[in-house]
Amino acid sequence: MTPTISVRGLTRRYRGHLALDDVTVDIEGATITGLLGRNGAGKTTFLRILAAQEFPSSGEVRVLGATPIENDAVLRRMVFVREDQTYPDIRVGHVLRAASWFYPNWSAEVADTLLGAFDLPACRAVKKLSRGMRSAVGIVVGLAARAEVTLFDEPYAGLDAVARQTFYDHLLADYAEHPRTILLSTHLIDEVADLLERVVMIDRGRIALDADADTVRGTATAVSGAAAAVESFAAGRLTWNRRTLGSHTSILIGSPLTESDRVWARTLHLTLTPLSLQQVVVHSTTGASTGTSTGAGAAGERTKRSPA
Amino acid sequence: MNTAIRSTDSTDSTGFVSSARPAGPLGTLVAVARYLLLDRVAYCFAPWSALLFAFAVDIAIIGLLPTDHSENHWVGGLSAIYVATFVIGLQSVTKGLAFGLTLGLSRRTYYQGTAFLAVGFAVVTGTVLTALRALESATGGWGLSMRMFQVPYILAGPWYEAWLTSAVALTLLYVYGGWWGLVHRRWGLLGLIAFAAGQTTAVLAATVAATWTHTWSDVGHFFTTLSAIGLTGLLAALTIVLAAGGFTTLRRVTI
């Protein structure tokens, strides 16, 4: 099966800066993928190249089986909502009207519902809107377009928590009804964690993590208990962080635990707490930035196995 | 994979009509033109308000002249609409391009749609200017012997010649403005400076070449014998060159 999005050896070099470095990733079929990473990691550049708004320095990008560059047949099946989306001097209703002329699967019903949900005034000029309301306009376009490939780049800048939840709810509801390939770049990982089926993390222009969200969630565990028992348990494993308070120690283990590991932990009276998606991403990225050794798509350090 | 339902024309509760994408390449070009025309201030209000203001200024100046208005008074107020057209062409890129590409258009389709609108806008505007020219003639220059729409030599011939020349010149200004906007979008302020310097250098080079080859008399002869229609043909050829330049610039524009 041809991947919906296929990227091979994608590199984007700017003067004195490598925004994307040999990125290779495939995204297949209907799925919601979280594109995660720190500021300046290369997420926006990656999405702009997918949408043919930017050009790669080298590498190959194929969307829906073909290059998106100057390819109307592909582009009309994609929608890309940018954080910094600009509009001409037109009103909110005009934006939606224009979008309805170009997207073959445009849903006026979804647009109308979201307009009400975000309390957007259709007759107001876009340039008169607040930052958050302008973001909401982009979200309405992105969802109502029902494009086969939907790219959201930090679409909710300035949106309050209630409006963000509205976005998540409608995204999930419409996705369930009309499954499509959705790529959502975000910083608010915990907020979207339940939406994501897959996670692609970019760190300094490179793919740092590419896995199913459920797999990532089970990747890391906080192990706490008596210092000696914790150290014994963590010996030889990939660890990200350790904190000791008196005789009590807590260590973040960055590799999956087996069932026998859990039995052993119970025997040692250790507490195991799975890390959230955001914690996994934060720790793996922080580890990478400090240049420690990497393993299983995440960075950390491997503790020395102490004598039993 | 996608089971989405195609929307049909409908009106949402806000009164804005949504409709499915027009089919075919021409339909897409019409849709691009309609998208740009949503900025009604730029396309419907700005050119005519600029022209009206220029007209009022010219009327005031001619009215204040201490003459009996028996001789023609040539004024340059018509240039206002050409300047406005240049600015609209500029804005088709500086304001319209980013969301245009977000709407799933290729650069080529966006440019074709913009050129389509440029011609349509120029034809309609040229028609109105030709009508105003006839009105000016019929009213004896607005009762003041003022000649704003009857530009000597260029717009002095039969109505169809004046209409064609107006339409071609307006298209040229729109396309030229668009190229300036594209240069700014692609290369920023330094690009604009280089663009202006390049054109100045080209004109200077042509001037120097005419001087060195002692062909100024030929140049003068060419322009004095060139008919208004011949000039229109020249402007049309120049418009095509400018459009090709604009499209070449657009091909690698990023947003």
CB contact under 8 A, A89 and B16: no
Contact residues for A156 (Cβ-Cβ < 8 A; gap 6+): A132, A135, A139, A163, A164, A167, A188
Residues, chain A: 308
- Count of CB atoms situated within 10 Å of the CB of A215: 14
User: How far is Cα A244 from Cα A224, in angstroms, rounded to an integer?
Assistant: 9
CB contact under 8 A, B14 and A115: yes
DSSP code, position B151: -
Give the mutation candidate from A28, A83, A89, A174 for the B interface (greatest B CB count, under 10 A).
Answer: A89
pLDDT tens by residue, A40-96: 899 999 999 999 999 999 999 999 999 999 999 999 999 999 988 999 999 999 999
Q: Is the pLDDT of residue B173 over 90?
A: yes
User: How far is Cα B130 from Cα B167, in angstroms, rounded to an integer?
Assistant: 10
User: How far is Cα A124 from Cα A88, in angstroms, rounded to an integer?
Assistant: 13
Q: What is the count of residue pairs from A and B with beta carbons less than 8 Å apart?
A: 147
User: How far is Cα B252 from Cα B163, in angstroms, rounded to an integer?
Assistant: 36
Q: Is A78 on the interface with B (CB under 8 A)?
A: yes
Evaluate whether A178 touches A132 at the Cβ level (below 8 Å).
no
Q: Is B26 on the interface with A (CB under 8 A)?
A: no
Evaluate whether B232 touches B165 at the Cβ level (below 8 Å).
yes
CA distance to partner chain B, nearest, from residue A53 (Å): 5
Contact residues for B213 (Cβ-Cβ < 8 A; gap 6+): none
CB contact under 8 A, A98 and B99: yes
**Which residue's structure tokens are 């007759």?**
A123
CB contact under 8 A, B102 and A106: no
CB contact under 8 A, B20 and A85: no
| Per-residue confidence (pLDDT) for residue A121, from 0 to 100 | 96
pLDDT tens by residue, B96-148: 999 999 999 999 999 999 999 999 999 999 999 999 999 999 999 999 999 99
* Average pLDDT value over all residues in chain B: 89
Q: Is A215 on the interface with B (CB under 8 A)?
A: no
pLDDT tens by residue, A154-182: 998 889 999 999 999 999 999 999 999 99
Q: Regarding predicted confidence, which is higher, B206 or B15?
A: B206
Residues, chain B: 255
Q: Is A14 on the interface with B (CB under 8 A)?
A: no
| Per-residue confidence (pLDDT) for residue A286, from 0 to 100 | 66
CA distance to partner chain A, nearest, from residue B79 (Å): 25
Residue B28: closest CA among chain A residues belongs to which residue? A102
Q: What is the 3-state secondary structure (H, E, C) of A261-298?
A: HHHHHHHCCCEEEECCHHHHHHHHHHHHHCCCCEECCE
Gyration radius of chain B's alpha carbons = 22
Q: Is A65 on the interface with B (CB under 8 A)?
A: no
- Interfacial A residues in 150-189 facing B (CB < 8 Å): 178-181
User: How far is Cα B18 from Cα A93, in angstroms, rounded to an integer?
Assistant: 9
| Per-residue confidence (pLDDT) for residue B20, from 0 to 100 | 46
- Count of CB atoms situated within 10 Å of the CB of A263: 10
| Per-residue confidence (pLDDT) for residue B153, from 0 to 100 | 83
Give the mutation candidate from A101, A114, A123, A128 for the B interface (greatest B CB count, under 10 A).
Answer: A101
**H-only helix segments in chain B:** 24-37, 40, 46-64, 79-94, 97-102, 107-138, 159-212, 216-225, 228-250
pLDDT band at A302 (very low <50, low <70, confident <90, very high): low
Evaluate whether A247 touches A226 at the Cβ level (below 8 Å).
yes
- Interhelix angle for B159-212 vs B79-94, to 10°? 80
**H-only helix segments in chain A:** 43-50, 72-75, 92-102, 108-117, 131-144, 161-177, 189-192, 213-217, 227-234, 259-267, 277-289
Q: Which residues of chain B lie closer than 8 angstroms to A108, CB-CB?
A: 7, 10, 12, 18
Q: Is B107 on the interface with A (CB under 8 A)?
A: yes
Q: Is A89 on the interface with B (CB under 8 A)?
A: yes
Sheet holding A58-63, edge to edge: A17-27, A5-14, A58-63
- Count of CB atoms situated within 10 Å of the CB of B37: 15
Of A120, A5, A104, nearest to A52 by C-alpha is A5
Of B140, B141, B252, nearest to B186 by C-alpha is B252
User: How far is Cα A59 from Cα A24, in angstroms, rounded to an integer?
Assistant: 9
A212 has which bridge partners? A198
Q: Is B221 on the interface with A (CB under 8 A)?
A: no
Instruction: Count, in order, helices (H) and strands (E) of chain A.
Output: 11, 16
Q: Is B154 on the interface with A (CB under 8 A)?
A: no
Please name each of the domains of chain A with its CATH number: 5-215 (3.40.50.300), 219-288 (3.30.70)
> Two tokens at B86?
């240049």
Grouping H, G, I as helix, E, B as strand and the rest as coil, residue B237 is helix
pLDDT tens by residue, B13-32: 434 444 445 457 788 999 99
How does strand A301-302 pair with strand A238-245? antiparallel
Residue A120: closest CA among chain B residues belongs to which residue? B14
pTM of this prediction?
0.87
